[in-house]
Structure formats: structure tokens, C-alpha cells
């Protein structure tokens, strides 16, 4: 697949998102009044350029969704978030996050529970669209993602998991989107739809948007990603060019990343 298909020259690309030294902790109350702090993210760094797809990979619980939520400004109230998040070179304040969320910055959440259970899915896809053309656009998006236009009248509980994921995807397609954050957009999706989703993510970059693709599926991500950020226990271990993920991973800098790569079924589960 053409990586991102962007016409912009690599060296000319501007940094869209820069996350530096991000740390996220939670204060929890145990036994009523005793407080303790847990620190799932301690030193995360990642950057995304215009027209670039950066895959964020890491084990379950390594902090991938928290990273996404921090950029979007949707962390829970008890989260203590420190570090720097720059968007187009400027600090992304909580206010700015709220303004951009669902417009310039779009989100494909990991869980289908983000959909409103009491609202027909078609209406949910129409949120934020121009009222006059919303219905046509929704029909168009549903057809593009292998749903029937009439499925728009259904409520979330009437759709299968795979269909709901496609609805979520449709809610992320908006004019003027500059940054797409996709949190595991592909689980439960059959191979044909998977390649369609990857193609659609790559489509976003044609107009210069950047994509953060959070996934467990490194092999699929490598089909479209330019770089891969490897996260372990809330820290960035390495940000490598996608090209480094080949052979025995000789081009990868960190032993952890090489182990991760060689442990994939496609690479014979080889442990160093």
C-alpha cells in the first residue's frame, strides 16, 4: 500500500502533534480516607507530522488509551497529567482540546460503549455535519463502510460488534480533520474490512492530516504507518521507522523492540 499517499515532501512536513515527557497518575482512595497514587504513564514521548501515520504499539495496560485520552482532553477527573502537549507548535490547553475535539481532532475510540445507547446510530454519525447535507453524507459514509443506509435507523444494541466499529469509524470522518486518533480501530473486523479500514486511515493523510494508530496488530499497522512508537509500562521505548521492522529487526535500536518484533507469530515466536 502507498504509505499515506501524501504528496508532501518528507523533509517539508511540519510537526502536528508533539507529546513530551507525558506523565499520568491517578489518586485513589483506599479504605475510605487513605490515599495512594498510581502512575501508569511516566515518560511518554511521541510526535506526529502532517500527513504522517504513527502507530503506537505496546502490551495491554501499557498506557496507549491514556495517551489518546490525554491528547483529546477526556481523562477522568482524578487524573494528574503532566508534561507538554503541543499541537501545531502551540500548547494544547484543555480549552483548546475541547474546541478541537470532534472537529480538527477526531477520535475513533477503542470501545463501542462511546456510542450513545439511546440514539439511533445514523443520528450519531450526523453530529457535527452540516444539517442540510448530513443525511446524504451519513448514507454515503455507511455505504463506504459496508453498512446499509437503512442501518442508520437502528440503535447500538441492534448492531453487531463489527458493525458498531464501522459506525465509530464513520463518526470520525469530518471535513477539515487534521489529526485522527484511532484507538484499536480493527478488532473483530474481518480481513476484507480490515484492509478497507487501513486504506481509509491512509486516506486521511492525503489532505495532510496526521494519524495516531493505536494497535496491538503491528503487522497490519506496518502496512500504512510511517513510524512506530513502542510503549512499555507508560514509557516510550523507541520510535522507529517502519522500515526497521524487517528481518530480525537489525535496524531497531532497543533490545525490547527487537524482542517484540521477533516474538510475533509471523517471526516464529523467536525470543532472544
Ligand X SMILES: Nc1ncnc2c1ncn2[C@@H]1O[C@H](COP(=O)(O)OP(=O)(O)OP(=O)(O)O)[C@@H](O)[C@H]1O
Contact positions vs ligand X (CB under 6 A) = 26, 38, 40, 58, 60-66, 76, 110
By CB under 5 A, tell whether 65 contacts Mg ion.
yes
Residue with cell 507508560: 234
Which residues does 87 contact at the CB level (< 8 Å), separation at least 6? 16, 17, 18, 96, 100, 105, 179
DSSP characters for 158-204? GS-HHHHHHHHHHHH--TT--EEEEES--TT--HHHHHHHHHHHHHH
How are beta strands 90-91 and 79-87 bridged, if at all? antiparallel
When CB distances to Mg ion are compared, the closest residue is 65
Work out what residue 118 binds among Mg ion, ligand X, none; the CB cut-off runs from 5 to 8 Å by kind: none
Q: How far apart are CA 42 and CA 6, in angstroms?
A: 33
Work out what residue 66 binds among ligand X, Mg ion, none; the CB cut-off runs from 5 to 8 Å by kind: ligand X
Choose the binding region for Mg ion from 14-22, 44-52, 58-66, 244-252 (rule: CB under 5 A): 58-66
Question: Which CB atom, from 9 or from 60, has the smaller least distance to ligand X?
Answer: 60
Work out what residue 62 binds among ligand X, Mg ion, none; the CB cut-off runs from 5 to 8 Å by kind: ligand X
Residue 180 in grid coordinates? 485522527
Work out what residue 26 binds among Mg ion, ligand X, none; the CB cut-off runs from 5 to 8 Å by kind: ligand X
As measured in angstroms, the least distance from the Cβ of 90 to ligand X is 25
Residue with cell 496488530: 217
Question: Which CB atom, from 33 or from 60, has the smaller least distance to Mg ion?
Answer: 60
As measured in angstroms, the least distance from the Cβ of 217 to Mg ion is 13
H or E stretch covering 259: helix 255-262
By CB under 5 A, tell whether 126 contacts Mg ion.
no
As measured in angstroms, the least distance from the Cβ of 78 to ligand X is 7
As measured in angstroms, the least distance from the Cβ of 30 to ligand X is 12
By CB under 5 A, tell whether 62 contacts Mg ion.
no
Q: How far apart are CA 96 and CA 117, in angstroms?
A: 28
Contact 225, 213 (CB under 8 A): yes
As measured in angstroms, the least distance from the Cβ of 54 to Mg ion is 16
**Which residues in the chain belong to E strands, given as ranges?**
15-30, 34-49, 53-58, 79-87, 90-91, 105-108, 179-183, 210-215, 227-232, 235-241
Work out what residue 63 binds among Mg ion, ligand X, none; the CB cut-off runs from 5 to 8 Å by kind: ligand X
Interface residues for Mg ion in 102-121 (CB under 5 A)? 110
Choose the binding region for Mg ion from 49-57, 62-70, 118-126, 204-212 (rule: CB under 5 A): 62-70
H or E stretch covering 66: helix 64-72
Question: Which CB atom, from 51 or from 58, has the smaller least distance to ligand X?
Answer: 58
Question: Which CB atom, from 73 or from 208, has the smaller least distance to Mg ion?
Answer: 73
Question: Which CB atom, from 2 or from 39, has the smaller least distance to ligand X?
Answer: 39
Q: What residues line the site for Mg ion (CB under 5 A)?
A: 64-65, 110
Amino acid at each position: 500500500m502507498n504509505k499515506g499517499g501524501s504528496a508532501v515532501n518528507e523533509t517539508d512536513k511540519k510537526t502536528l502533534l508533539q507529546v513530551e515527557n507525558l506523565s499520568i497518575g491517578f489518586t485513589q482512595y483506599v479504605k475510605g480516607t487513605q490515599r495512594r497514587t498510581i502512575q501508569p504513564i511516566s515518560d511518554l514521548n511521541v510526535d506526529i507530522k502532517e500527513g504522517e501515520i504513527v502507530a503506537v504499539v505496546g502490551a495491554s495496560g501499557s498506557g496507549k488509551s491514556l495517551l489518546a485520552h490525554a491528547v483529546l482532553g477526556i481523562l477522568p477527573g482524578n487524573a494528574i497529567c503532566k508534561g507538554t502537549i503541543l499541537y501545531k507548535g502551540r500548547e494544547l490547553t484543555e480549552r483548546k482540546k475541547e474546541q478541537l475535539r470532534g472537529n480538527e481532532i477526531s477520535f475513533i475510540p477503542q470501545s463501542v460503549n462511546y456510542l450513545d445507547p439511546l440514539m439511533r446510530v445514523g443520528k450519531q454519525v450526523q453530529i457535527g455535519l452540516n444539517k442540510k447535507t448530513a443525511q446524504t453524507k451519513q448514507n454515503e459514509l455507511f455505504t463506504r463502510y459496508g453498512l446499509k443506509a437503512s442501518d442508520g435507523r437502528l440503535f447500538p444494541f441492534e448492531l453487531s460488534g463489527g458493525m458498531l466499529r464501522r459506525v465509530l469509524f464513520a463518526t470520525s470522518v469530518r471535513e477539515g480533520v487534521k489529526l485522527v486518533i484511532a484507538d484499536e480501530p480493527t478488532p473483530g473486523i474481518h480481513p476484507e474490512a480490515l484492509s478497507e479500514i487501513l486504506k481509509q486511515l491512509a486516506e486521511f493523510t492525503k489532505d495532510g492530516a496526521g494519524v495516531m494508530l493505536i494497535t496491538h496488530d503491528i503487522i497490519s499497522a506496518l502496512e500504512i504507518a510511517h513510524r512506530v512508537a513502542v510503549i512499555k509500562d507508560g514509557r516510550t521505548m523507541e520510535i522507529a521507522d517502519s522500515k526497521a521492522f524487517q528481518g530480525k529487526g537489525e535496524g531497531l535500536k532497543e533490545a525490547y523492540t527487537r524482542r517484540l518484533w521477533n516474538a510475533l507469530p509471523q517471526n516464529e515466536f523467536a525470543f532472544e
